[in-house]
Amino acid sequence: MSAALIVYLGLAALAANLPFMVERLFLIGPKVAAGKSLGWRLIELCLLYVLVGGLGLWLESRVGPVHDQKWPFYATTFALFVVAAYPGFVMRYLWRQPGN
């Protein structure tokens, strides 16, 4: 595995966990007083999946011709992106905070 691929996968894992770590809407918007709901976090997760996928597509086009992909590829990569988001989900919703 090349260093660029490792950096890209690390960036994808970080992007998958960002919706669960940041209380701002779409990472740069206003801070929500009552906290973001799970729905907003899932919308952000989908948006970040598209952005990371677009970055991967751009990087692939810089190296050579882009391979055609059908829906199973996108279903699999989205499932992997959701699995990468699991640590952030656990820290946000399942980890018991002291005093709660």
Residue 100 falls inside a structural domain: no
Task: Give the model confidence (pLDDT) of 2-15 as tens digits.
Answer: 898 999 999 999 99
Task: Give the model confidence (pLDDT) of 61-73 as tens digits.
Answer: 998 999 899 999 9
Q: Into how many domains does the chain fold?
A: 1
Kindly list the distances between the CA atom of residue 43 and the CA atoms of 1, 4, 46, 100, in Å, as whole numbers in the listed order. 31, 28, 5, 27
Residue 36 falls inside a structural domain: yes
Residue 99 falls inside a structural domain: no
- The tally of CA atoms less than 13 A away on the side-chain side of residue 2 is 3
Task: Give the model confidence (pLDDT) of 47-60 as tens digits.
Answer: 999 999 999 999 99
Is residue 16 within 8 A of residue 81, CB to CB? The reply is yes
Residue 77 falls inside a structural domain: yes
Task: Give the model confidence (pLDDT) of 23-34 as tens digits.
Answer: 888 878 777 767
Domain hosting 8: range is: 3-94
Q: What is the pTM of this model?
A: 0.87
Residue 50 falls inside a structural domain: yes
pLDDT for position 92: 87
pLDDT for position 99: 63
Residue 62 falls inside a structural domain: yes
Task: Give the model confidence (pLDDT) of 80-100 as tens digits.
Answer: 999 999 999 999 888 867 665
Residue with tokens 């690390």: 10
Residue 81 falls inside a structural domain: yes
Residue 40 falls inside a structural domain: yes
